[in-house]
Structure 1
Amino acid sequence: MGKGSSGGPQLIGFDAATATGTVVGVNSEGRGGDAGVPALDAASLGATGKQMYEQAQQPAQ
């Protein structure tokens, strides 16, 4: 990951053919990884993130 990766999604189950996956975190912090390979950390969105997403999908009242 290079500069400008912060704020991007961290996905699992990414399907390159459909460009879809499940967002499980938001990239927030770069660091040195194992064997000098750069790494990017993301806090898990968990149940709160899922609930917020589901509420955002509801029509405005």
Structure 2
Amino acid sequence: MTPSAPEPPKNNWQNSVYHQLHDLAQRALARETAGHSLQPTMLVNDAYLRLLEQRNICADVLG
């Protein structure tokens, strides 16, 4: 079963993390050989979903 796409970020720190992850993914994939099937948005969505599942992050401290 494929996980559903994450909800749009609800606050500033989530929005910031999502965009930073996307920038990192784009830069990392730019170094890959042509013809690969990876896309920055797919990588970011997977990483973002994993972060949202974490239970040891206190959002109040983040802003």
TM bucket, shorter chain: under 0.3
Q: Which has the higher helix share?
A: 2
Kindly indicate which of the two structures has a greater share of residues assigned to strand.
1
By relative contact order (CA 8 Å, sep 6+), the higher-ranking structure is 2
